[in-house]
Structure 1
């Protein structure tokens, strides 16, 4: 019971972090069309573009992984975590896509299985991306096996996103993108801690 309460508290903390930043992310995503394009372009640099182009497929894969949980996971805690991940990253994908459009930058690469990353350096260096084989194995897993595989892969996936976000903080200049990067670090690091706690219980 203590571990369950501790996990619930951790998830509540993560949810609070996500809600605190969600309004900022979505608000940012809705305002660029109203701002002059020249101002948007002047406020962004190559690092911002790289961040958006990389984080979109990275988030898309996390959402794809999370959508497998309702029918495959045994642990309700894993199901709840997957739902939370999908709810947080879906709106960020929309915001990032809008920024690329407003900046006149190339769209993000596809997350189709045939073009998925190979190990940690897939998709041009995006850390933590699953291979097509790993995704297929996750799709085939059920119950406790799915739970362990999901947690292991999502921890690695989140660690890659945190690394990408830290690069944006140090090299980017678009204020809203840097704000999202910090939000990703805060939220996903908290989720990493929660997932490690679940693995320790299994």
Structure 2
């Protein structure tokens, strides 16, 4: 268990570093390039040139929308997980909720920082079909479901929390799949893949808890 938590914590730190350490001031991250030999004209020596793009594409509307929507999506996960310490009966559920709380707080801070460092991309995406729209965020619990979770206690809370959080994570994976298909920005793509890997693992864990 301690090993799994340590690995998960390292993943959170890496995700934060990806967002806070790259792509500042609307400058796209450098893309891989390579040197190639360019044949010279007859009688002239060969020259060395650079092949491939020197800069990655800046964030597009789909990627800005993904980050903007993932923040409130994470916020709801925090709201749900904050209920676990006083209501869950299974220590494993409390531990899982604590991990989700810690990981997603770091990701929220990193995503907000990324948006602040990319004002041009945010402005360009503003008003587009990819802007933050809570109604389009897959997996979100309804107000009625959240109220049921607040009122639940013990084993009933454990089951409802796990059920709602699985659906919540599956919604995040749907959002990830969309941005991986439509986006090209290195930082956002790495964030999306980190969310994908961590939440797929947590879904497996939660399903195991429901079945136990």
Bin for the TM-score computed over the shorter chain: 0.7 to 0.9
Larger radius of gyration: 2
C-alpha separation between the residues in 2 aligned to 1:179 and 1:18? Answer: 16
RMSD (Å) for aligned C-alpha atoms = 2.2
* 1:194 matched residue in structure 2: 205
- Normalised by the size of structure 2, how large is the TM-score? 0.75
Equivalent residue in structure 1 for 2:154, among 143, 147, 151: 143
Moved over 6 A (4+): none
Equivalent residue in structure 2 for 1:132, among 143, 158, 162: 143
**1:152-182 per-position Cα deviation (integer Å, ceiling 9, x unaligned):** 0000000001111111211112211111111
- Normalised by the size of structure 1, how large is the TM-score? 0.79
Equivalent residue in structure 2 for 1:37, among 26, 29, 53: 26
Matches within 5 A, 1:1-202: 8=1, 12-13=3-4, 15=5, 18-31=8-21, 35-39=24-28, 43-104=58-119, 105=122, 123-201=134-212
Tell whether the 8 Å contact from 1:54 to 1:126 is kept in structure 2 after alignment.
yes
The structure-2 alpha-carbon separation of the partners of 1:17 and 1:180, relative to structure 1 and needing over 3 Å to count, comes to farther
Question: After alignment, is 168-177 or 54-63 more displaced?
Answer: 168-177
C-alpha separation between the residues in 2 aligned to 1:19 and 1:74? Answer: 24
Tell whether the 8 Å contact from 2:25 to 2:117 is kept in structure 1 after alignment.
no
SS of 1:187 mapped into structure 2: helix
Tell whether the 8 Å contact from 2:139 to 2:167 is kept in structure 1 after alignment.
yes
SS of 1:43 mapped into structure 2: coil
C-alpha separation between the residues in 1 aligned to 2:171 and 2:10? Answer: 23
Tell whether the 8 Å contact from 1:72 to 1:142 is kept in structure 2 after alignment.
yes
* 1:112 matched residue in structure 2: none
The structure-2 alpha-carbon separation of the partners of 1:165 and 1:12, relative to structure 1 and needing over 3 Å to count, comes to farther
* 2:34 matched residue in structure 1: none
Question: After alignment, is 148-157 or 18-27 more displaced?
Answer: 18-27
Q: What are the ranges of 5 or more consecutive residues in structure 2 without an aligned counterpart? A: 30-55, 124-132
The structure richer in helix per residue is 1
C-alpha separation between the residues in 2 aligned to 1:46 and 1:17? Answer: 32
